[in-house]
């Protein structure tokens, strides 16, 4: 994994806490439906949407691949009594995840490790579910993650992924600029097209592959992120000029400005993939 990814999440941990997850420990887009009343509810809805597809239980063992500060892991443990193992390459995220689990009184159901989800070190066929919520995007070659997910899943195990993807390659100069700003600001090497990812799932050996376009459901979250970025872009530009923050923070704000166009102009989309071993 690119060391820039771990540096990015180590540094931005307090920023996500202040600006984004509102006590949910979520570092992802929120899912809006007709009954959703707030950004916080939308963030929780994303977990609910994925859980409804994989149906975790007290007997399930879940690998939260790219667990962040433990948001989904803790939610699964609290709501399903599920045993969840989370991995992250950010040392600060790992420490915070441990603290969050203790605070939520689910430390007996959760474990967090400083490991790369492409090479976890776990034994073959040891998980019922592999859960990747806006983490697989950080793999330079997504097939590396898919091969490892397949290896650690038990026969009949389920893979669930929610992430940003390219619906097609950028064509115009503006589209290429939006894409470049988006991936640079979020410490991504690239995004896979939905076709490439489907092919990768098949080649890894997965079956019963299903894809769900959730782009319409994250539009309000994209608008919310755009609004936050608009309010803070000048302040962080000044802070950068005064050398109070690194360039990565300015790049992150810029990504927040362009992501709305990325998801509304037809280049990018937010998709959920479900598959079985």
Q: Computed from CA positions of residues 136, 137, 141, 142, in that sequence, does the dihedral angle turn out positive or negative?
A: positive
Could you read off the pLDDT of 31-77 as tens digits, one per residue?
Answer: 999 999 999 999 999 999 999 999 999 999 999 999 999 999 999 99
Q: Active site includes 134?
A: yes
Which domains, and CATH codes, for the chain?
A: 3-276 (3.40.50.150)
Of the candidates 134, 140, 148, 199, the residue annotated as catalytic is 134
* Euclidean distance between CA atoms 248 and 44, whole angstroms: 27
pLDDT score of 266: 86
State the angle between helix axes of 247-264 and 173-185 in degrees (0 to 180), rounded to the nearest 10: 130
Cβ count near 241 (within 10 Å): 10
Query: What single-letter DSSP state applies at residue 221?
Result: H
Grouped pLDDT means (10 residues each) for the chain, 277 residues: 87 94 95 95 97 97 98 98 97 97 98 97 98 97 98 98 97 96 96 97 98 97 97 96 96 97 94 98
List alpha helices for the chain, DSSP H. Answer: 3-19, 39-54, 71-80, 91-103, 142-152, 173-185, 194-204, 219-241, 247-264
Q: What is the pLDDT of residue 3?
A: 79
Q: What are phi and psi for residue 232, nearest 5 degrees?
A: -110, -5
Residues 6+ apart with CB under 8 A from 174: none
Burial class (CB in 10 A: 0-12, 13-18, 19+), 160: buried
What pLDDT was estimated at residue 213? Answer: 97
């Amino acid at each position: 994994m690119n060391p820039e990814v771990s540096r990015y999440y180590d540094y931005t941990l307090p920023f996500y806490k202040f600006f984004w997850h509102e006590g949910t420990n979520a570092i992802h887009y929120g899912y809006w439906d007709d009954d959703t009343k707030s950004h916080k509810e939308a963030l929780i809805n994303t977990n609910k949407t994925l859980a409804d597809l994989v149906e975790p239980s007290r007997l399930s063992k879940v690998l939260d691949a790219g667990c962040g500060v433990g948001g989904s892991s803790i939610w699964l443990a609290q709501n399903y009594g599920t045993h969840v193992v989370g991995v992250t390459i950010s040392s600060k995220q790992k420490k915070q995840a441990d603290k969050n689990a203790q605070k939520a009184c689910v430390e007996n159901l959760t474990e967090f490790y400083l490991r790369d989800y492409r090479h976890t070190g776990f034994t073959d066929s040891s998980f019922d579910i592999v859960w990747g919520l806006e983490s697989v995007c950080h793999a330079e070659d997504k097939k590396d993650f898919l091969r490892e997910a397949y290896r650690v899943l038990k026969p009949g195990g389920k893979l669930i992924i929610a992430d940003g993807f390219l619906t097609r390659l950028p064509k115009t100069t503006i589209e290429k600029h939006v894409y470049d700003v988006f991936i640079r600001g979020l410490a991504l090497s690239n995004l896979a097209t939905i076709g490439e990812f489907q092919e990768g799932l098949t080649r890894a050996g997965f079956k019963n592959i299903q894809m769900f376009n959730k782009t319409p459901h994250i539009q309000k979250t994209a608008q919310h992120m755009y609004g936050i970025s608009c309010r803070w872009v000048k302040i962080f530009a000044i802070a950068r000029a005064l050398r109070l923050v690194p360039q990565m923070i300015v790049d992150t704000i810029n990504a927040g400005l362009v992501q709305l166009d990325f998801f509304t102009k037809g280049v990018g989309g937010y998709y959920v993939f479900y598959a079985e071993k």
